Amino acid sequence: MPRRRSSKQSWRELVRLWVRLFAKDNLLTYASAIAFQALVALVALLLLTVAVLGKIGREDVWTNQVAPKIESKVLFDVFAGINETFEKIFHTSSVGLIVFAAVLTVWEISGVVRACMGALSQVYGHDEDRPWWIRLPISIGISIAFTAALLGAILLGTAASSAVHGGWGLPFSVGRWLLAAALIGLAFGLLVRYAPAEQRATRWASAGATLVVLGWIAQSLIFAEYLRIANYTSAAGSLLGVYFLTTYLYVGAIVLLVGIELDELLRRDLQGQDERGILALVRDAL
């Protein structure tokens, strides 16, 4: 009984801790700003991905993997418009289009990075007083790494799926997904390492990367399952699709901020700055 009561108390303290952190650091407000910027960046990233697929001659990713799953779920005219758009990009794909899409994607993702800078300063208790001519180049540099990581992860999940067959197919499949996760984790580490006003040590910059990557993978699987069973042939279905997309980005932003908060909690705990840190709470709760 005493152990059970201590466990319940620790769980309550954990819940109160995160509720307090969400309120103190305005995490939901920052998550909304990050999600909005990510929604705009998603369009540019989609254009870049399609342009690259067209340039490398992998139109089959759309025609064989993606299009058949969409065609049966939307109205005929809607699919015809989407398909025509993709075919147009494939047929006009060039180095110039890829460069334009890459610059646009980097610029839009840099907006996401700058939104994260404010959140990082809030979490770490620093004043974000850097002038724009310092913040802008830093955000663009980080966004270049993020664009490369996201594009690489997408290509590993789509174009690389048919690269190896036979007995090596399964090990290759596991390896490419692990590499995709590593790319995302590396991009997150760069964000937490270089975006704050005061740079963090590398070990603190990477402590929450696992949580973020696993959280993004889990929510992506859930969203993919929704896309598999959803039907957009009605007005309600179309509205629900938009709602789930924005919710997906919003939850992803929350997962990102929770990972950043976890980094800071672990740093404070392991440096003995908190009398009863998160490690002690988790240990007693379990």
pLDDT tens digits for 270-286? 766 665 666 666 666 66
Tokens of 165: 């067959």
* Own/partner long-range contacts of 160-165 (Cβ < 8 Å, ≥24 apart): 161/65
Q: Taking a C-beta distance cutoff of 8 angstroms, is the pair 262, 208 a contact?
A: yes
Report d(CA 29, CA 208) in Å as an integer: 21
Quick one: which of 158, 133, 192, 149 has its CA closest to 60? 158
pLDDT at 272: 64
pLDDT at 142: 94
pLDDT at 9: 78
Low-confidence ranges of the chain (pLDDT < 70): 1-6, 199-208, 271-286
pLDDT at 207: 60
Q: What pTM, to 2 d.p., does this model score?
A: 0.85
pLDDT at 281: 67
pLDDT at 4: 46
Q: Taking a C-beta distance cutoff of 8 angstroms, is the pair 104, 47 a contact?
A: yes
pLDDT at 234: 74
Beta-carbon count within 10 A of 278 CB: 19
